[in-house]
């Protein structure tokens, strides 16, 4: 259930009984020794801790409601800040931002600018994830009909347009090129750019339909380099990464083609999505170690989806030697902690948010203030 936020009480912030003293937002960059993240020229340590804000409780994507329900988004951002987050990961759909292969949608860009301004106001950094095709019905036919080379060009235009909106904002933590991209394996040509749906959404996306004799990691690296170059034409400072599936490691079994040790070069840090399973926390930790290739690592998606909150809590603690940030989920509704959970989903969310507050690595430390 939502609760009303008293805007006058946002600064100073109160979290678990302790006052978090506010500081002005400063740009985040990788530390000189590549062991983590720092803010501003003074190099104050920064530990990303936050939420994926990918859809609301009803399953609608951000662009589905960010015009009509703007006050709800404002409320959600304040709630996420009060819960202790310093980073919010947003997911932008390609079809909502591009009218054609080279013509951005000005209305969507304007609304993105409004969201960036809100993040600055509240004091939350944004992980801007792009090129989403989560709802297949919203993917333009002309986009799917493009050749691989032309599709990459259109994706580059998307990123240049987005980066123009974000380049001067201190609230941008990073650009995530795509959520869970994959290079096809085997000699056969695919007939669909999207992977199978999960809960009605297509989170996995292919960057090519066939390899044509090329090494999969070479395709992945060339694609990354293409999009990084496009962003750097517009924005030279903000961090760039890509959200990798756990089966990206170059090990026996299913592989994505995005082996971190082979594609990390153009990226500022590694982002991996890990959901520990019951009784298999050690396996998740071993997978995480495979993504530790000399650059900071963020667990960009995690949640007690396949394990208990207690097991996820253990995963948080034991992942610290290899991860420098963690991002879970928030869907715009908080359970009423004053009454018994009415559904399994509510119980899971309640357990998750309690864990999120408990394990916050930034508790008691200074947090960036908004402009309000």
- What's residue 174's pLDDT? 98
- What's residue 335's pLDDT? 60
- What's residue 345's pLDDT? 82
Beta strands 125-132 and 172-179: pairing type? parallel
Element (H, E) at 286: helix 281-290
- What's residue 11's pLDDT? 31
Nearest-angstrom CA–CA distance, 349 and 158: 34
Nearest-angstrom CA–CA distance, 32 and 226: 25
Residues 164-193, buried b or exposed e (16+ Cβ, 10 A)? bbbeebbbbbbbbbbbbbbbbeeeeeeeeb
* Helical pair 106-122 and 148-166, crossing angle rounded to 10 deg: 40
* Helical pair 309-319 and 281-290, crossing angle rounded to 10 deg: 30
Nearest-angstrom CA–CA distance, 119 and 99: 26
Which residues, 6+ apart, have CB-to-CB distance to 187 below 8 Å?
Answer: 210, 211
- What's residue 10's pLDDT? 29
Strands (E), the chain: 13-15, 18-20, 22-24, 28-30, 37-39, 44-46, 49-52, 87-93, 98-100, 103-104, 125-132, 172-179, 181-182, 205-206, 239-244, 270-273, 297-301, 325-329, 367-369
Provide block-wise average pLDDT over 10 residues at a time, the chain (372 residues).
30 31 78 95 94 89 95 96 96 98 98 98 98 96 98 98 97 98 93 94 97 96 98 98 96 93 98 98 98 97 95 97 97 70 82 94 70 56
At the topology level of CATH, where does 7-369 sit?
TIM Barrel (3.20.20)
Please state the length of the chain. Answer: 372
- What's residue 364's pLDDT? 65
Q: State the CB neighbour count (10 A cutoff) for residue 201.
A: 18
Residue 142 structure tokens = 């002309």
Residue 349 structure tokens = 């969310």
Whether the CB-CB separation of 258 and 288 falls below 8 Å is answered with no
Nearest-angstrom CA–CA distance, 303 and 284: 13
Q: What backbone phi and psi angles, to 5 degrees, belong to 207?
A: -95, -5
Q: What backbone phi and psi angles, to 5 degrees, belong to 211?
A: -90, -25
- What's residue 9's pLDDT? 32
**Domain ranges in the chain?**
7-369
- What's residue 8's pLDDT? 29
């Amino acid at each position: 259930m939502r609760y009303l936020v008293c805007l006058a009480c946002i600064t100073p912030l109160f979290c678990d009984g302790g006052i978090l003293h506010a500081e002005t937002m400063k740009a985040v960059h990788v530390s000189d020794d590549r062991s983590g993240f720092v803010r501003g020229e003074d190099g104050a340590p920064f530990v990303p801790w936050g939420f994926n804000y990918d859809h609301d409780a009803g399953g609608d994507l951000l662009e589905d409601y960010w015009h009509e329900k703007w006050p709800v988004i404002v409320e959600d951002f304040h709630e996420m800040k009060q819960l202790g987050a310093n980073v919010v990961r947003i997911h932008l759909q390609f079809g909502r931002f591009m009218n054609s292969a080279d013509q951005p949608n000005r209305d969507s860009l304007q609304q993105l600018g409004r969201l960036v301004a809100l993040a600055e106001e509240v004091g939350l950094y944004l992980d801007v994830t792009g090129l989403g095709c989560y709802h297949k019905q919203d993917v333009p036919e002309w986009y799917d009909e493009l050749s691989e080379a032309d599709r990459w060009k259109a994706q580059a235009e998307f990123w240049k347009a987005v980066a123009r909106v974000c380049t001067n904002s201190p609230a941008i933590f990073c650009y995530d090129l795509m959520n869970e991209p994959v290079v096809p394996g085997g000699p056969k040509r695919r007939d669909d750019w999207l992977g199978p749906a999960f809960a009605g959404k297509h989170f996995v996306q292919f960057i090519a339909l066939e390899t044509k004799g090329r090494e999969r990691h070479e395709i992945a690296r060339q694609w990354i380099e293409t999009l990084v170059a496009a962003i750097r034409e517009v924005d030279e400072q903000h961090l760039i990464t890509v959200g990798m599936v756990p089966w990206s490691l170059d090990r026996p079994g299913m592989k994505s083609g995005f082996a971190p040790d082979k594609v990390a070069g153009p990226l500022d840090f590694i982002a991996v999505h890990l959901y520990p399973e019951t009784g298999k926390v050690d396996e998740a930790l071993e997978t995480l170690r495979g993504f530790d290739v000399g650059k900071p690592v963020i667990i960009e998606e995690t949640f007690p989806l396949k394990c208990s909150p207690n097991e996820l809590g253990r995963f948080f603690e034991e992942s610290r030697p290899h991860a420098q940030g963690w991002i879970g989920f928030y869907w715009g509704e908080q359970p009423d902690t004053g009454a018994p959970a009415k559904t399994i989903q509510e119980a899971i969310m309640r357990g998750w948010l309690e864990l999120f507050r408990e394990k916050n690595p930034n508790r008691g430390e200074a947090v960036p203030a908004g402009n309000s």
